[in-house]
Structures are given as structure tokens and as C-alpha cells.
Structure 1
Amino acid sequence: MKNILATLAIAALPLGALAAADAPLVFKPGHASLKQFLLPAQVPHPADNAPNAARVALGQTLFFDPRLSGDGNMSCATCHNPGLGWSDGQGTARGVKSSVLGRASPTVINTAYNSIQMWDGRKASLEDQAMGPMQANVEMNMDIAKLFQWLNGSEGYKKMFDKAYPGQGINEGTVSKAIASFERTAISRNSPFDKWVKGDAKAMTAQQVKGFEVFTGKGNCMACHSGANFTDNGFHNLGLESWGLAEPDMGRYAIKPVKAMKGAFKTPTLRDVARTAPYFHDGSAQTLMDVVEHYDTGGTVKTNLSPNMKPLNLTHDEKLALVAFMEALTSPYKPVKVPALPVK
């Protein structure tokens, strides 16, 4: 586990941390100063849950099975649809009985590289978070005792679990491991930006390269969206309008009650961000341009505002270039097959 955390820490290091301390970025395709933006080829995983075909297949089956919810009509894929950027296209998520929840469904893309999970960071790993939505009465609202009674009575699932985790049985541990194994296949690291970093001069347009310059410079985006996965795995109050409500979502503060964490939420990856609208934890930004405009103002509500939030005074062309660059972080879409679910 220590090696995994070390890998994740490297992936989240801020601009320049992997290069010489005084070495500036050179905005030329293939330049050595850009290599820090390439994700590791090996996807991190715990030592006791190394991925294999059987584990991924089991996790994929569980991920798409609505019978893991109390009403039998919601699966993990309901809120994390591969065709919708591994999110749901909603401003905020829908839970049991289609109730409107307070936070957006975060994307599963590249969560394997995160050192902490969820908008408020209350889960440490993919294994740690996998059962959460099933157990939450406002989300999938599943009776966990009934869930395992049913899974252990299913001949199809018993065969899959025996193959994936021989001798470990069907329990919260193996269900969590299987779902996490499948989620680790949701990877984005073959975008036009990645190709440009590797030396393909035609992979990005001149406008996108200009956007990268704005991103790493005047836009101050790297203050939070740092490293190869474009997240610092940290928490920030962005001064959103919802923070000014009478009873605002306290975010990370509910988990770690220190003043700086009031209204602070985890920095999401920008990988495949063009597919994951709406944006922010409250779904208040409909487009990437809306996101840029918010950051350009330095935040709407100034109370407990992150010190990284300052007016940017970007020109219209700079804003367009910044959006174009973020669009260049999208990898080609890989269709995900909905598996045949065990009948018994």
C-alpha cells in the first residue's frame, strides 16, 4: 500500500515538481519538461486486489446490476454511466424514488489514480467507497443483509466469485474489491494532449496549445488542477452561489472540521472533462465556458474563499483557448458492454 500511495503522490505533484526546480515549461510537443503530465502506464491497485479478467468481469456485472438496490431499479451505472462520462448528465444526482440529491455524481474516470475519494474525501480508496451508495438510504437504499443472502443464493454469482476470489466468499470485502477492479478500467490517458506531449505536433491546435499556456500561467489553473491527472486531490471553496445559501453544504468540513475546509470540495480530474457536464459539486455550471467565467470572477461568495481564487482578467480569446485546451484532455471513447446478468 505504501508503494501505491507513493505512486499516487507522484501523480498529484504540482507543476515543476518532477522537473528541475528552476526548469520552465517549454511549449513544444515532446519536450522533456512536459513528461510530468503523462500518467503512469500501470494503474495503481492494492496488493490484495491485483486486477485480472475474472475480477474485472465480476465487477462489471455487479456495476450494471440493478438488483443491488432496494427497489431493484438502480445500479452503479445509473449514476455512473460510461456513455455520459461515467457520470449521469444531471446537475445533481438522483437517489431512491428519484429523489434529488445535493451533490453531482462524480465521474469514475481515472479515480484509480486518486489518493482520496468522494467530493468530501470521506473514502480513502475505490474499495472503501464501493459499498457506500448501496448502504446509503438516500441513494440505492439496499438492505445489505438481504443483498448477501441473495448473492450467496445465486449460482451464477457464486461461480463468478469463486473464480475471481477463490476461497474468500461473497461478502462486503469481495464485492468492494470486484467493483473497484472494474472501476480501475475507466482510464483516460490517450487524449490529443497526451499525444502532443509525446511528440505529435499535429495532435493539438494552436488554440489548444495557447490554452495550455493560459492554464499553466495566467489562468492559475495549476494551483489546484495539478499533475498528470489534473487534480491536487485537495479541497477548495470556490465561492459558488450555493455556498451563500442559508444552509450551505459544508463539504470537507463535515469530515475534517477545520475552518479552511468550510464549503471546500475535492478538486476533480479534468481528464475527459468535456464529457462530464454539468460542472462543480452542485452542478451549477452547464458548460466549460461557464466554469471559466466563474473562475475569471474570482468566485461569487467571498466568505471562506480559497486563497487560490482570485480575479483572472482573462480576455475573450484566452477564455476560448482555455476551453479548447480542456477539450483536448478527452481520450477516444471506448464503448462499454452491458454484461449478461446471472438469472439465478
Structure 2
Amino acid sequence: MGKLRSAILTSVVLNLLLLMTVCSDLSLFAEGKVVDVARSLAPLPPVQHPRENPPSAAKISLGRELFFDARLSRNDRVSCASCHEPNKGFSNGGRFGKGIRDQRSTRNVPSLINVGYSHPLFWDGRSATLEEQALLPIQNAAEMDMPLEVLEKKLHGVAEYRRQFAQVFDGAVTAARIGQALAAFQRTIVSTDTPLDRYVGGDRTALTPRATKGMQLFFGRARCSICHKGPELTDNRFHNIGTVDPEIPDDSGRRAVTGRAEDQGAFRTPQLREVARTAPYMHSGKFQTLSEVVEHYNFGGVTDTANDHRDEILEVLYLSEDEVEDLVAFLREGLTSPDPPIANP
């Protein structure tokens, strides 16, 4: 009995500490009133480019051309944009991606909107930088299946690419420079003009009444901002949120990278701007709608699938149907800009 009381007391203390931290950062309800989100949430800062890969108009233009060029794949059928389609929120609108032989990938295609703020990258965080990340799908046999040494020779044989690489890098086509150009372009895919951004900037009319209620829930009782926090609306960390998918039961998530048992089934917290454009959701695309996502969290991430590693921060929310609809309205309306990020060639 003493051990049980000690465990309960420890749990209570940890939850109180967590609540205090969240309250100080994320505008949780205080004495029945929600703190003004505009005062507690900083505006989204400009994307930071690494010192070793400074941007230029010519480099970004080269990266854009590479992004839409199917010649980066072995059989000239798949480009980066084949999975990251601008008109689908720089995702692909499906549960999974497709490779050069129409083979299905094992995870949902992450959106590239505001990817310049994300670190590390991929659902499991296996890449530290965009420059590194950009080259992995190219080499992956299930995606573009193009060895980098072959790609270098292939692009060197294109006169226009030889000219552009010489102009931008004062040198020949190399895999590292391909990654730098792609990364420079991807850092320009940004969303900074959502109603939430305008609200934070001082426009108190930017959100509809329903979306305003949803915002208060998001930063309050619905606990979304424990993980979706800060100007980027992500902690850039990894959590097991109860989305084990029977279709891909062997996906160990972050554990495949770290080897740590506690990372089993944990996936990176995505940023949420333009989330209404990027369905379906979660690492396996198992939820088709934002309503399904909110209902999943409303039940504390508990499902019929066994999950011994579900994150302890999850708890049943007891949101009413109206509150669920308010929260969905905030995600759908409050985080969607009037003009979506478009970067067509």
C-alpha cells in the first residue's frame, strides 16, 4: 500500500509540474478564464538558413527546378513533387506515398509546409537537416531509387543544369549541392498568414466566434498545446499517441533510430499551419478527417489495439460534441491562410 501511495503521489506531482509549465507557456485556463493567446504566443519568426547553405534567388530557383524534375528518379517517372504536391498541402492526399514502380510506402507523406522550422526530419527524426533529408528519398529503392553517383552523372549531362550549378556553386553537379539547392527551395515553402497569425499580430477579428472558442480549447482544456506549442505549433519531439496501425504493425517509429524501448511507436509532432489541406492524418494516414483526429485525443488515445508505450501526457478530455466542433473549426479555419503556399515551376 505504501508503494502504491508513493506512486500516486509521484504521478500527482509530475502532473502538477507539467501543468505549471504548460500554464506558463501555453495560455491554459486560469481561474476559469482563458489567458489572451495573443499575449502568450509569439509571431512565427523568419526561417533560418544554415550558415553553410546561404540562400540566393538563383539557388532557390535551381532547387525548385530539381524539386519538380522526374529525372531525379531512376526511371524518370517520380519527382519530389509527385508525393509533395503543392495543391495538396505539399503532401499527396493519400494514406501512403508511391515509388517509381507504384509500390506503396509504409508511412503517410509529411507536408513540407513550414518544413524549414522542423528539426529533426521524417516521422522518426532520422535526418538532422533538410540538406541531408532531401537526398534520402532520391536514394530509397522504394521511392526514387536513384544512386547519387548515377544522379550526378545524369544531371551533369544536362547542359542547363551544368550552367546553373556553375552559376550557383561555382562548380560541377554534386550530390551535396543537389541537397543544398533542394533544401534552399523547401525553406521558402512557408505559411505565415493564417487567421491565428493575424490574431497574434493584433487583429482580434481574424477568427470567427466558433474558431475563437476552438482556439481557447486548443491552448487550454483540450491540452493540444502541450505538444503543439510555440510559434511553430510543435515541440519537435516524439510521442506515442496511440496511433498504432494494424496495417503497419511493425513500424517502431523513433525506436528504429534510437534503439530505445521507450521510443517504441513514437513519431514526431507535426506543425499544424494549413493542416486542413494535408489530410489524411497521423504517420499512417489512418484518420481521414480532423474530426477523427480530435475524437481520438478526446478518448485519450485509447484504442482497441494493445499499446504499452502510450505517452503519459494523454488523458481523456471529456469534450462535448459542440467543443469538438469548436476545436475542429479552429484547426480548419484558424490555421488556414487565404492563399495556400504554392511553388509550381
Shorter chain as normaliser: what TM range?
Answer: 0.7 to 0.9
**How far has the Cα of 1:33 moved from its partner?**
2.7
**Aligned match of 2:227:** 224
Candidates 67, 73, 83, aligned match of 2:87 = 83
Distance 1:264 1:290 in 2: 19
**Aligned match of 1:5:** none
Identity percentage of aligned residues:
41
**How far has the Cα of 1:143 moved from its partner?**
3.1
Candidates 30, 36, 40, aligned match of 1:33 = 40
Q: Deviations over 1:3-41 (max 9, x none)?
A: xxxxxxxxxx9774499xx9x96337xx4333x2x110x
**Aligned match of 2:190:** 187
1:210 corresponds to 2:213: yes
* Structure 1, 144-153 or 99-108: larger mean CA deviation: 144-153
Distance 1:15 1:164 in 2: 47
Which is higher, the Rg of structure 1 or of structure 2? 2
Q: Deviations over 1:284-336 (max 9, x none)?
A: 00000010011111121442101122111110111011111112111233463
Distance 1:335 1:223 in 2: 27
1:103 corresponds to 2:107: yes
Local SS of the residue matching 1:98: coil
**Aligned match of 1:304:** 309
Candidates 302, 324, 329, aligned match of 1:319 = 324
Partner AA of 1:310 in structure 2: E
Partner AA of 1:233 in structure 2: N
1:155 corresponds to 2:164: no
**Aligned match of 1:342:** none
Q: Deviations over 1:89-138 (max 9, x none)?
A: 01111123111111000011111011211000000011110110010001
Partner AA of 1:184 in structure 2: R
Give me the CA root mean square deviation: 2.2
Local SS of the residue matching 2:329: helix
Q: Deviations over 1:239-290 (max 9, x none)?
A: 1241x67842100000012122001111111111000000000000000001
The TM-score normalised by the length of structure 1 is: 0.87
Distance 2:87 2:248 in 1: 36
The change in CA–CA distance for 1:118 and 1:337 in structure 2 (over 3 A counts) is closer
Contact 2:193 2:337 in 1 (8 A): yes
Candidates 331, 339, 345, aligned match of 1:333 = 339
* Structure 1 unpaired stretches of 5+: 1-12, 340-344
Aligned length: 318
Contact 1:14 1:227 in 2 (8 A): no
Distance 2:340 2:211 in 1: 23
Distance 1:65 1:32 in 2: 44
**Aligned match of 2:237:** 234
The change in CA–CA distance for 1:338 and 1:210 in structure 2 (over 3 A counts) is closer
**How far has the Cα of 1:142 moved from its partner?**
1.1
Partner AA of 2:83 in structure 1: C
Contact 1:218 1:312 in 2 (8 A): yes
The change in CA–CA distance for 1:162 and 1:246 in structure 2 (over 3 A counts) is closer
Q: Which runs of 4+ in 1 moved over 6 A?
A: none
Local SS of the residue matching 1:160: helix
The change in CA–CA distance for 1:283 and 1:196 in structure 2 (over 3 A counts) is same
**Aligned match of 2:200:** 197
The change in CA–CA distance for 1:310 and 1:332 in structure 2 (over 3 A counts) is same
- 1:27-176 mapped onto 2 (5 Å cutoff): 27=36, 31-34=38-41, 36=42, 38-40=43-45, 42-167=46-171, 169-176=172-179
Distance 1:326 1:128 in 2: 31
Contact 2:47 2:116 in 1 (8 A): yes
Distance 2:344 2:40 in 1: 41
The change in CA–CA distance for 1:182 and 1:321 in structure 2 (over 3 A counts) is same
Candidates 276, 280, 284, aligned match of 2:278 = 276
Distance 1:260 1:114 in 2: 22
**Aligned match of 2:14:** none
The TM-score normalised by the length of structure 2 is: 0.87
**Aligned match of 1:6:** none
Local SS of the residue matching 2:180: helix
Distance 1:269 1:313 in 2: 24
* Structure 2 unpaired stretches of 5+: 1-20
Partner AA of 1:27 in structure 2: D
Partner AA of 1:258 in structure 2: R
